[in-house]
Amino acid sequence: MLAGLAPCPLTLFVMTFAIVRGVPVAGLLFAGTMMIGVAITLCGVAVLSILLRDNLMHFVESRQRVFDAITRTIEGLAGTALVVLAVPEILLR
């Protein structure tokens, strides 16, 4: 919730650039457009998650073995990625 209060670095750069170039309105238009885009995206994800929640729960409950296999595969890949990234860091120090 608090993350939305921190300004985006790209927006700060564009606003600073626009002010330096003497066109602060362009920077404000960019920031407004970006804000509207983020709002539309977040609202879309929220609406889709609400609408598709029941379908996803039915899928998970009807295919428990497939879901368990997918979950174990993802956990295994994540663990392997951590080891692959950590071993060189440990050995090079």
The tokens 């174990």 sit on which residue?
72
* pLDDT per residue as tens digits for the range 27-82: 999 989 988 998 999 999 999 989 899 888 888 888 889 889 999 999 999 999 99
Provide the residue type at 83 as one letter: V
Boundaries of every domain in the chain? 8-62, 64-93
Asked if residues 37 and 14 have their Cβ atoms less than 8 Å apart, the reply is no
More confident residue, 7 or 40: 40
Q: What number of other Cβ atoms are within 10 A of residue 43's Cβ?
A: 10
pLDDT given at position 56: 83
Name the pLDDT band for 10 (thresholds 50, 70, 90): confident
Between CA 79 and CA 2 the distance in angstroms is 31
Name the pLDDT band for 1 (thresholds 50, 70, 90): very low
Taking the whole predicted model, whether its pTM rises above 0.85 is answered as no
Give the three-state DSSP class for 82: helix
